[in-house]
Structure 1
Amino acid sequence: MTAIDTAKPATRRTITHRLMRAARADRLAAVGAVVLVLIVIAAIAAPLLAPYPADGTDATHAENALQPPGSEHWFGTDGVGRDVLTRVLYGARTSLLIAGAVLAISAAIGVLLGVVAGYAGGAVRDVIMRITDVFLAFPALLLSVALALVLHPGVQGAIIAISASWWPWYARMSAVAATSIRSRGFIDAARCLGVSRTRIVLRHVLPNSLTPTLVQLSLDAGGVILTAAALSFLGLGPQEPTAEWGLMVQQGQSLFTTNWWVVAFPGLAIVITAFCFNVLGEGLRSALDPRREVTR
Structure 2
Amino acid sequence: MSVHPPLDPAHDVEQPAYRGRWTRRVVAVVGADRLAAVGAVVLLLIVAAAVLAPWLAPYPDDARSATHSLEALQGPSAEHWFGTDRVGRDVLSRVLFGARTSLTIAAAVLAIAAVVGVFLGVVAGYAGGWLRDVIMRVTDVFLAFPALLLSTALALILGPSVTTAIIAIAATWWPWYTRLSASMASTIRGRAYVDAARCLGVSRGRIVARHVLPNSLTPVLVQLSLDAGGVILTAASLSYLGLGAQDPTAEWGLMVQQGQSLFSTAWWVAAFPGLAILVTAFCFNVLGEGLRDALDPRRGNR
1:57-76 → structure 2 map (5 Å cutoff): 57-76=64-83
Matched, 1:87 2:70: no
User: Which of 228, 232, 237 pairs up with 1:230?
Assistant: 237
1:169 lines up with 2:176 in the alignment: yes
Q: How far apart in 1 are the matches of 2:86 and 2:73?
A: 5
Q: Which residue of 2 aligns with 1:247?
A: 254
Deviation string, structure 1 residues 217-264 (Cα, Å, up to 9, x no partner): 000000000000000000000101100000000001000011000000
**Is 2:225 the partner of 1:218?**
yes
The two structures have a TM-score, normalised by structure 2, of 0.94
Which residue identity is paired with 1:65?
A
Percent of residue pairs identical: 75
Decide whether the 8 Å contact of 2:122 with 2:185 is kept in 1. Answer: yes
Distance of 1:209 and 1:13 partners within structure 2: 15
Q: Which amino acid aligns with 1:123?
A: W
Shift, 1:8, TM fit? 8.8
Alignment of 1:1-296 (within 5 A): 10-293=17-300, 296=302
Q: How has the CA–CA distance of structure 1 residues 9 and 200 changed in structure 2, closer, same or farther, with 3 Å as cutoff?
A: closer
Q: Which has the higher contact order (CA 8 A, sep 6+)?
A: 2
CA shift at 1:42, angstroms? 0.3
Which letter maps to 1:122?
G
Structure 2, unaligned runs of 5 or more: 1-13
How many residue pairs get matched?
Answer: 289
Letter in 2 for 1:81: G
Q: For the residues of structure 1 that align with 2:15 and 2:41, how far apart are their CA atoms?
A: 28
Q: CA deviation at 1:10?
A: 5.0
The CA RMSD over aligned residues, in Å, is 1.3
In 1, the alpha carbon distance for the partners of 2:193 and 2:249 equals: 51
- Deviation string 1:130-149 (CA, Å, 9 cap, x unpaired) is 00000000000100001010
Is this contact kept in 1: 2:15–2:215, CA < 8 A?
no
More off after superposition, 21-30 vs 239-248: 21-30
Asked if the contact 2:30–2:291 (Cα under 8 Å) also holds between the matched residues in 1, the reply is no
Q: Specify whether residues 27 and 210 from structure 1 end up closer, same or farther in structure 2 by C-alpha distance, changes over 3 A only.
A: same
Q: Distance in 1 between matches of 2:30 and 2:213?
A: 26
AA aligned opposite 2:232: I
What whole-Å deviation, never above 9, does each CA across 1:22-76 have from its counterpart, x for those lacking one? 0232011011001001100100000000000000111111111000000100000
Rounded Cα–Cα distance in structure 2 between residues aligned with 1:121 and 1:182 = 10
Give CA deviations for 1:139-174 in whole Å, capped at 9, x if unaligned.
001000010100121110000000000000000000
CA distance in structure 2 between the aligned counterparts of 1:241 and 1:134, rounded to whole angstroms: 36
Q: CA offset at residue 11 of structure 1?
A: 3.1
Hey, what's the Cα distance between the residues in 1 that align with 2:66 and 2:78? 20
Mean alpha-carbon deviation: is it higher for 53-62 or for 216-225?
53-62
